[in-house]
């Protein structure tokens, strides 16, 4: 970014200000404003710093001004270091003088209950319509190491004498999480570029900050800690901006146990919660989801150590060790991460033979043996061995594992550094008990050294999945939403009800989706005629809004072969319904579709992200297997094809779904998503389970529409 070259769009005055004013600063011990001034001095902030306090003439040796209008120039950024009850007045002053950006550290707003929520609404109302870009309240602030900006009261600035500029920028809804991550990166010698604590998000949301960081050329990786969203639309837009600009996003999501409480009558209500919706959003935009601060750092710093665009082409990984046991464990850990450890090809092994220690193993994992370093003969050939290994045609990434080596470690580190600089394949290095200073020396060259092999392998797993997500075609296609005359089929004003299968099937049929032929029979005689019409064999199902899981209630008969059997089955279902005290609309007589695989296809409206479409393993195993994935609707057939490929069952047993069958299923999924994108209800679930997939056909066999309370969208 240079000295103060704008690169953050509208948020440049906030993230890279040319001047800073600190309102409420004094030399009194414990005063946060005074602490801010001292930190800006300590870390060499490059612009002017102006303390503002009507009761002081100087702070930290700097002239102090009575109010913002008395400053020698308009500050880009105002740090508002006053108690909550005084914040609104200072914000009004900022707006009055035209200050473009401000940070409010104080707590005592929405996080404390009714009184704080009222104060925050007043703050929001004060800022509304103004040009002021405000971070907070209730935040630790902003650090930009590239210009020495420490607009923060974090203890991080007391723990270090300098802040190392890095390539990772972080935005967090938790100040503590942000500071912990930044401090650890600093200890590793790699550092962060920008750290943002966004607090209560009175005016600027976490999405605004992600969007700004995506525009920064010097930010290579964006790390995020998020719990909830004040502006889901802006968040999604920001993820899209980062993806378009090739900026990896590494996201730690808190609050994963929130339940949707949606449509418990359908399988979807048990399988789809807010956590899986977030998974779908992250997958769409190739954001990497992690589950701890350690993992967030591991993945972010490893990504930052790679060259732009350096990604694994597939999941085939090379492992090299200096001891066989480490390789065995590493292979097991790779399997857990979905990484393939293929045996090296014959040509590569032949090239290795004349330069490789006879005590080693060139299979993969490759055991270089300690003698590769301790024996001068093989130490001399080790660079050629490593180059031959990384050039192997059937591997796409490399986890280099080492340990110890004492005085020889710097020579080995140099070999690794040269290897890394001369390959396009990403390499992770893990070094157990490295000599003092080696990790920091490599960090100064931008190389992250893991101190545990499993963490390096886990990071590589994330890199491989990230690369795959950048290639998939799963993405929302609003242009494909299919207009449908819902009111011609159903009273769309009727909410809080279960829609019978015959109506749900009619909706699918009218939208052009393949549905098993069926007919509603009011009497047993009608059921016999219906069976002749739809074709044997048939299934007969009791139809009533009061029944959602008919098989469990004994209200379904399958593989009915002739008219006499239809009459007996229909009569039995009507008697069974009467025993259960259920009034039937009739029985649904449906042709039995042949098929070797049953899929679940479903849709619901998420309160944050809109209509979601999902697919999974269907039939009686739906909840047992719990294998379902979601995406924002609508998606096209290519997106549906790739979404089906994300099912664990299909990944492990790809022959279950031939390419032709998968394309038919993808077309159904795309068409269903286009229909459901126009669903008129605020809360609903439409579940098709199963969709039967046969050798030459595919059809929806059972459908359930649950319209929850909430009215129309």
**pLDDT value of residue 362:** 93
CATH topology of domain 517-592: Dna Ligase; domain 1 (3.30.1490)
**CA–CA separation, 269 vs 290, rounded Å?**
25
- The answer to whether residue 552 scores a pLDDT higher than 70 is no
**pLDDT value of residue 4:** 42
Question: What residues are paired with 253 via a beta bridge?
Answer: 226
- The answer to whether residue 306 scores a pLDDT higher than 50 is yes
- Fold match between domain 9-248+286-305 and domain 317-471: yes
**CA–CA separation, 94 vs 137, rounded Å?**
15
**CA–CA separation, 573 vs 554, rounded Å?**
8
The total number of residues written for the chain in this structure: 713
Question: pLDDT (tens digit, 9 = 90+) per residue, 687-709?
Answer: 999 999 988 889 999 999 999 87
- The predicted model gives 292-296 an average pLDDT of 97
Question: pLDDT (tens digit, 9 = 90+) per residue, 389-437?
Answer: 999 999 999 999 999 899 999 999 999 999 999 999 999 999 999 988 9
- Token pair belonging to 115: 């009184």
**pLDDT value of residue 27:** 95
Which pTM does this prediction carry? Answer: 0.93
Helix (H) or strand (E) holding 594: none
Residue 387 C-alpha from the chain's centroid: 35
Instruction: Select the more confidently predicted residue: 491 or 388.
Output: 388
Q: DSSP label at 229?
A: -
Q: List the domain boundaries for the chain.
A: 9-248+286-305, 317-471, 517-592, 594-707
**pLDDT value of residue 263:** 39
Question: pLDDT (tens digit, 9 = 90+) per residue, 347-382?
Answer: 999 999 999 999 999 999 999 999 999 999 999 999
**pLDDT value of residue 256:** 63
Q: Percent of the chain having pLDDT more than 90?
A: 86
Least confident of 12-21, 238-247, 271-280, 312-321: 271-280
**pLDDT value of residue 110:** 94
Contact 18, 76 (CB under 8 A): yes
Phi, psi at residue 320, to the nearest 5°? Answer: -125, 140
- Token pair belonging to 360: 């080693």
> What's the CATH number of domain 317-471, 3.50.50.60, 3.40.50.261, 3.40.50.12780, 2.40.50.140?
3.40.50.261
Q: Which residue has the tokens 């042709």?
A: 591
- Token pair belonging to 508: 């699918």
Predicted confidence band of residue 9 (pLDDT cuts 50, 70, 90): confident
**Cis geometry, peptide bond prior to residue 634 (ω within 30 degrees of 0):** yes
CATH 3.30.470.20 fits 594-707, yes or no: yes
- The answer to whether residue 272 scores a pLDDT higher than 80 is no
Mean pLDDT, the chain, as a whole number? Answer: 93
> What's the CATH number of domain 9-248+286-305, 3.40.50.2300, 3.40.50.720, 2.30.40.10, 3.30.70.960?
3.40.50.720
């Amino acid at each position: 970014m240079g000295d103060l070259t704008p690169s953050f769009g509208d948020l440049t005055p906030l993230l890279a200000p040319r001047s800073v004013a600190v309102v409420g600063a004094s030399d009194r011990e414990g005063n946060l404003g005074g602490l801010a001034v001292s930190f800006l001095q300590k870390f060499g902030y490059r612009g002017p710093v102006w303390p503002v306090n009507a009761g002081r003439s100087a702070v930290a040796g700097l002239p102090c001004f009575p109010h913002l209008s008395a400053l020698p120039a308009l500050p880009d950024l105002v740090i508002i270091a006053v108690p909550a009850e005084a914040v609104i007045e200072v914000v009004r002053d900022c707006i009055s003088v035209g200050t473009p950006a401000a940070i409010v550290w104080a707590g005592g707003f929405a996080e404390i209950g009714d009184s704080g929520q009222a104060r925050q609404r007043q703050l929001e109302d004060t800022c509304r319509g103004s040009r002021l870009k405000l971070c907070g309240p209730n935040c630790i602030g902003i650090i930009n190491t590239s210009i020495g900006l420490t607009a923060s009261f974090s203890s991080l600035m007391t723990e270090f004498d300098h802040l190392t500029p890095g390539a990772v920028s972080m935005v967090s809804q938790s100040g503590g999480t942000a500071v912990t991550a930044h401090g650890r990166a600093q200890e590793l010698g790699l550092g962060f570029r920008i750290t943002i604590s966004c607090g209560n998000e009175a005016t600027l949301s976490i999405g605004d900050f992600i969007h700004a960081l995506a525009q920064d050329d010097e930010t290579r990786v964006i790390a995020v800690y998020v719990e909830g969203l004040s502006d889901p639309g802006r968040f999604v837009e920001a993820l899209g901006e980062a993806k378009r600009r090739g900026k990896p996003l590494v996201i730690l999501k808190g609050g994963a146990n929130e339940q949707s409480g949606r449509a418990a009558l359908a399988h979807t209500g048990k399988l789809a919660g807010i956590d899986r919706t977030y998974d779908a959003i992250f997958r769409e935009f190739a954001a990497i989801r992690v589950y701890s601060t350690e993992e967030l750092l591991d993945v972010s710093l490893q990504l930052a150590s790679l060259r732009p665009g350096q990604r694994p082409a597939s999941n085939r990984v090379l492992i090299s060790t200096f001891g066989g046991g480490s390789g065995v464990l590493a292979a097991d850990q790779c399997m857990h991460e979905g990484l393939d450890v293929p045996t090296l090809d014959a040509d590569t092994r032949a090239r290795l033979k004349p330069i490789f220690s006879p005590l080693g193993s060139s299979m993969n994992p490759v055991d270089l043996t300690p003698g590769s370093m301790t024996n001068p003969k093989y130490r001399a050939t080790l660079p050629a061995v490593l180059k031959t290994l990384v050039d192997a045609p059937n591997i796409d990434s490399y986890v280099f594992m080492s340990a110890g080596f004492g005085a020889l470690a710097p020579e080995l580190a140099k070999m690794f550094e040269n290897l890394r600089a001369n390959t396009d394949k990403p390499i992770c290095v893990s070094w157990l008990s490295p000599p003092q200073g080696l990790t920091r020396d490599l960090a100064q060259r931008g190389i992250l050294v893991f101190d545990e092999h499993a963490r390096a392998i886990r990071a590589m797993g994330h890199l491989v999945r990230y690369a795959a997500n950048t290639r998939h075609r799963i993405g929302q296609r609003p242009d494909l939403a299919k207009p449908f005359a819902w009111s011609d089929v159903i009273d769309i004003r009727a909410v809080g009800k279960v829609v019978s299968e015959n109506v749900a099937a009619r909706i699918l049929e009218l939208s052009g989706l393949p549905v098993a032929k069926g007919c509603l029979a009011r009497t047993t005689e009608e059921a016999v005629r219906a069976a002749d019409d739809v074709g044997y064999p048939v299934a007969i199902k009791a139809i009533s809004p009061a029944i959602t899981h008919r098989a469990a209630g004994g209200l379904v008969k399958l593989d009915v072969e002739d008219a006499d059997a239809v009459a007996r089955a229909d009569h039995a279902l009507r008697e069974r319904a009467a025993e259960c005290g259920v009034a039937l609309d009739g029985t649904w007589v449906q042709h039995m579709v042949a098929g070797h695989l049953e899929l679940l296809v479903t849709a619901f409206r998420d309160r944050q992200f809109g209509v979601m479409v999902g697919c999974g393993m269907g039939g009686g195993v739906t909840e047992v297997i719990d294998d379902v994935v979601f995406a924002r609707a609508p998606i096209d057939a290519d997106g549906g094809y790739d979404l089906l490929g994300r099912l664990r069952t299909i990944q492990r047993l790809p022959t279950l779904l031939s390419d032709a069958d998968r394309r038919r299923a993808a077309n159904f999924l795309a068409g269903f998503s286009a229909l459901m994108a126009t669903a008129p209800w605020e809360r609903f679930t439409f579940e098709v389970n199963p969709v039967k997939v046969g050798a030459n056909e595919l059809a929806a066999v059972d459908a359930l529409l649950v319209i929850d309370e909430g009215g129309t969208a």
